[in-house]
């Protein structure tokens, strides 16, 4: 199987000790292991101490990250992001607890605890997850191995590090006690940082960009014959953490995670059953980390609760793999004002999204070497939400008009306000919705020589609306982290998005040169995005709030179905100069447009054309890398989202590593070594008032020069 092949590749190539790595090892080459289907980022081979695993995605072709805060990176792949990308952690799905995705699924896989981060290249197999319209990513945490003996042995991974840009620090420890049939794991992580500097004059800081997180995990594994069982419990405690691109900051994210995994493998037949769940409690405010609103009446706190329950079952035998999976998420979100106990908004009440899927996948190798993958998946999505209410929905509106009688004075009558009308429309509507979605995948690989394989893929992928897109009843910015500053309302009648995609490319794996370019074209019918709302009440509500609060918020958008296309090109490559020196790089280009007849526009928040070039030296005990990263301007921006264009830039990064002895490794580096001022298009714009160095509405600057060091101990 491919996975075993990949595992063998990893086992064969990773220098476990310096002695194995002697002579010719190109250590840097092992950071991202490519197979034709995916890119696996080996966390042990990284040197950074980034808290946010999503930032590491930039090492994989086609991948990027929408950064709303230091722990809040939302993966982007080939122009799609958020719910469109299936993120799993150890094979389990996890939906964000917060309505604005301050805790994206990948935030539950802290970088320091990861073994690997696997990005599926291009069209994801139907077995990779339920809704993979934009791709699939799986993070795997390190959990040790069973030994071959009766006696218990201890193994561990310890990591400590610090960085200068935000005086950030990291400490992580995982201990495993195992013999051939039992395995106990204990893991703890703490990481924190202050507001980060940027190159804008002395003392310029991105505020608030501080972060603080702790994480504890317990695991037990049991192995008997061809069977194994694994139980895991985790507790994530995120504390005060900034999200300057969003209207509020994180007060707390308390998440409890549990999973059980049964695996059977006889060689001829492999089966997996995963059952998992999580409870997430999350508080955020617009006053505790950023400058509070002038008016006491504008203070806001949002308490959200999100729960996940799910399972995944699959059996693989011969060329076939079949499976069943299910995922249920429920969400509550309530907004209040600590200065006014009467104020409340029931933002989401028991919003439910349930999805059940079944898939079958077939892989075959013909005698001429042609390999094919065919997959078919059916998903059923069932959604519902409870009734809502809120202070803004209890306001009457004064209407003045002439009375009917001649000569009588003006009369004022009280009418339901627009918020009340929206509430009543929502509460009296049939909010339960069902979609039946069909996905299929067809891929072929044809080797044309010892070093070249041609690739073609064709797929249909679908995604049903998220609970925010369907059930946001009052114009608010609870949009799964879009961070465009616009208010939105949902749409109960949204149809599922359906994408048809064509992908072509080849893999060249020569003596000194490897490269694997891909071009793709994806046409999406019923693509869900915000457009001008036809709901007069939503427009009237925002206008009324602007008058009452002396604000100037833009007219609200509504999530609607449009048509879109995305196309582009991406490639990673490496050229070996000699046994120690190599060059490597990435090229990524994606273009996204709305194409239905109503209005032509660019899609929102698409990564600009970008590339990187690195010169690497890898010796027996140490290695260094000098990397230039270049981003073009992004001028093809979405007018609906009032997205601002951004300028291009280049950044120089230096990285090094030193294997002190067989179990100890030192990593160090300087990011943005020239301390350039730049802003990443995907980092969004500043929503925080009162920062003298960054105006509200301006692009958030990238971090300044950052020197860091990390020590990894492994035994």
Beta-bridge partner residues of 213? 191, 238
Buried b (16+ CB within 10 A) or exposed e, 115-143: bbbbbbbbbbbbbbbbbbbbbbbbbbbbb
Choose the binding region for Cu ion from 85-93, 282-290, 479-487, 704-712 (rule: CB under 5 A).
282-290
Q: Judged by CB, which is closer to Cu ion: 102, or 441?
A: 102
Q: With both helix axes pointing from N to C terminus, report the angle between 536-549 and 418-428 in degrees, rounded to the nearest 10.
A: 140
Residues 570-589 that bind Cu ion (CB under 5 A): none
Shortest Å distance, C-beta 338 to Cu ion: 16
Q: Could you tell me the CA-to-CA distances from 638 to 592, 594, 603, 645 in Å, in that order?
A: 10, 9, 5, 9
Q: Judged by CB, which is closer to Cu ion: 45, or 249?
A: 249
Choose the binding region for Cu ion from 101-109, 148-156, 208-216, 431-439 (rule: CB under 5 A).
101-109
Beta-bridge partner residues of 272? 263, 314
- Measured between alpha carbons, how far is 143 from 73 in angstroms, rounded to an integer? 24
Q: Is 284 in the site for Cu ion (CB under 5 A)?
A: yes
Strands laid side by side in the 80-81 sheet: 63-67, 73-77, 80-81
Q: Judged by CB, which is closer to Cu ion: 243, or 679?
A: 243
Q: Cis peptide before 208, with omega less than 30 degrees from 0?
A: yes
- Measured between alpha carbons, how far is 234 from 238 in angstroms, rounded to an integer? 13
Q: Is 98 in the site for Cu ion (CB under 5 A)?
A: yes
Choose the binding region for Cu ion from 93-101, 127-135, 320-328, 532-540 (rule: CB under 5 A).
93-101
DSSP letter at 296 equals: G
Choose the binding region for Cu ion from 99-107, 289-297, 428-436, 485-493 (rule: CB under 5 A).
99-107
Q: Is 289 in the site for Cu ion (CB under 5 A)?
A: no
| Structure token digits, residue 40 | 């696996």
Choose the binding region for Cu ion from 53-61, 98-106, 146-154, 376-384 (rule: CB under 5 A).
98-106
Q: Judged by CB, which is closer to Cu ion: 334, or 621?
A: 334
Q: Judged by CB, which is closer to Cu ion: 288, or 705?
A: 288
The helix (H) or strand (E) run that includes residue 197 is strand 196-197
CB-based burial label for 158 (10 Å; 0-12, 13-18, 19+): middle
Rg (CA), the chain: 26
Shortest Å distance, C-beta 301 to Cu ion: 10
* Angle 122-124-125 from CA coordinates, rounded to 5°: 140
Shortest Å distance, C-beta 302 to Cu ion: 6
Q: Is 102 in the site for Cu ion (CB under 5 A)?
A: yes
Shortest Å distance, C-beta 172 to Cu ion: 25
Secondary structure (H, E, C), 252-280: EEEEEEEEEEEEEECCCEEEEEEEEEEEE
Q: Judged by CB, which is closer to Cu ion: 41, or 253?
A: 253
Shortest Å distance, C-beta 104 to Cu ion: 11
* Angle 409-410-411 from CA coordinates, rounded to 5°: 110
Shortest Å distance, C-beta 250 to Cu ion: 6
Shortest Å distance, C-beta 120 to Cu ion: 28
Q: Is 393 in the site for Cu ion (CB under 5 A)?
A: no
The helix (H) or strand (E) run that includes residue 670 is strand 664-671
Shortest Å distance, C-beta 72 to Cu ion: 9
Q: Judged by CB, which is closer to Cu ion: 250, or 590?
A: 250
Q: Judged by CB, which is closer to Cu ion: 247, or 457?
A: 247
Q: Is 482 in the site for Cu ion (CB under 5 A)?
A: no
Q: Judged by CB, which is closer to Cu ion: 98, or 505?
A: 98
CB-based burial label for 678 (10 Å; 0-12, 13-18, 19+): buried
Three-class secondary structure of residue 8 per DSSP: helix
Shortest Å distance, C-beta 691 to Cu ion: 20
Shortest Å distance, C-beta 168 to Cu ion: 21
Choose the binding region for Cu ion from 97-105, 122-130, 325-333, 338-346 (rule: CB under 5 A).
97-105
Q: Judged by CB, which is closer to Cu ion: 252, or 440?
A: 252
Q: Which residues sit at the interface with Cu ion, rule CB under 5 A?
A: 98, 100, 102, 284
């Amino acid at each position: 199987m491919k996975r075993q092949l990949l595992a063998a590749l990893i086992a064969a190539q990773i220098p476990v000790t310096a002695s194995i790595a002697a002579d010719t090892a190109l250590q840097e080459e092992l950071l991202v292991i490519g197979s034709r289907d995916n890119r696996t980022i080996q966390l042990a081979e990284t040197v950074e101490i980034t808290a946010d695993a999503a930032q590491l995605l930039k090492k994989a072709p086609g991948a990027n990250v929408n950064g709303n805060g230091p722990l809040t990176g939302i993966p982007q792949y080939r122009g799609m992001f958020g719910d469109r990308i299936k993120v799993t952690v150890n094979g389990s799905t996890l939906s964000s607890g917060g309505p604005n995705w301050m805790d994206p699924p990948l935030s539950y896989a802290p970088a320091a605890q990861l073994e690997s981060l696997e990005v599926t290249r291009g069209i994801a197999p139907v077995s990779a997850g339920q809704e993979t319209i934009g791709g699939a990513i799986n993070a795997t945490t390190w959990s040790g191995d069973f030994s071959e003996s009766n006696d218990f042995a201890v193994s561990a991974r310890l990591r400590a590090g610090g960085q200068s840009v935000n005086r950030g620090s990291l400490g992580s420890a995982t201990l495993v006690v195992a013999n051939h049939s039992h395995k106990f794991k204990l893991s703890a992580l703490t990481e924190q940082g202050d507001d980060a500097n940027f190159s804008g004059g002395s003392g310029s800081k991105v505020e608030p960009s501080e972060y603080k997180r702790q994480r504890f995990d317990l695991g037990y594994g049991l192995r008997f014959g061809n069977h194994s069982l694994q139980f895991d419990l985790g507790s994530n405690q995120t504390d005060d953490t900034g999200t300057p691109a969003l209207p509020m900051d994180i007060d707390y994210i308390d998440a409890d995670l549990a999973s059980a995994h049964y695996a059977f493998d006889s060689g001829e037949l492999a089966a997996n059953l995963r059952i998992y769940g999580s409870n997430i409690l999350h508080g955020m405010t617009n006053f505790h980390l950023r400058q509070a609103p002038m008016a006491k009446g504008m203070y806001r706190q949002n308490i959200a609760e999100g729960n996940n329950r799910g399972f995944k079952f699959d059996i693989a035998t011969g060329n076939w793999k079949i499976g069943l999976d299910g995922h249920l998420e429920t969400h509550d979100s309530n907004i209040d004002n600590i200065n006014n106990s009467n104020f409340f908004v029931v933002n989401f009440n028991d919003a439910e999204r349930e999805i059940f899927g079944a898939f079958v996948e077939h892989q075959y190798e013909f005698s001429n070497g042609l390999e094919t993958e065919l997959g078919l998946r059916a998903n059923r999505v069932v959604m519902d939400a409870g009734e809502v209410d809120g202070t803004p929905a209890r306001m009457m509106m004064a209407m003045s008009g002439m009375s009917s009688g001649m000569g009588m004075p003006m009369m004022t009558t009280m009418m339901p306000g627009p918020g009340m009308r929206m509430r009543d429309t929502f509460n009296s509507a049939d909010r339960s919705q069902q979609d039946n979605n069909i996905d299929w995948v067809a891929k072929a690989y044809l080797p044309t020589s010892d070093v070249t394989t041609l690739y073609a893929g064709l797929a249909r992928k679908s995604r049903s609306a998220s609970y925010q897109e369907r059930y946001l009843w009052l114009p608010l910015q609870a949009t799964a982290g879009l961070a465009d500053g616009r208010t939105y309302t949902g749409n109960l009648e949204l149809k599922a998005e359906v994408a048809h995609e064509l992908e072509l490319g080849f893999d060249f794996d020569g003596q000194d040169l490897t490269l694997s370019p891909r071009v793709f074209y994806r046409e999406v019918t019923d693509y869900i995005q915000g457009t001008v709302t036809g709901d007069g009440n939503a427009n009237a509500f925002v206008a009324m709030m602007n008058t009452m609060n002396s604000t100037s918020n833009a007219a609200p958008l509504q999530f609607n179905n449009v048509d879109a296309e995305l196309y582009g090109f991406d490639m990673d490559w490496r050229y070996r100069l000699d046994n120690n020196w190599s060059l490597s790089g990435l090229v990524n280009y994606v273009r996204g447009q709305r194409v239905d007849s109503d209005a032509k526009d660019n899609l929102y928040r698409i990564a600009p054309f970008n590339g990187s070039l690195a010169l690497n030296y890898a010796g027996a005990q140490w290695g260094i890398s000098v990397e230039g990263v270049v981003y073009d301007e992004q001028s093809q921006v979405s007018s609906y989202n009032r997205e601002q264009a951004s300028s291009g830039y280049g950044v120089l990064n230096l990285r090094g590593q030193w294997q002190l002895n067989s179990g100890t490794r030192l990593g160090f580096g300087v990011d943005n070594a020239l301390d350039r001022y730049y802003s990443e298009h995907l980092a969004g714009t500043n929503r925080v008032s009162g920062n003298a160095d960054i105006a509200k509405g301006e692009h958030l600057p990238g971090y300044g020069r950052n020197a860091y060091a990390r020590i990894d101990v492994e035994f």
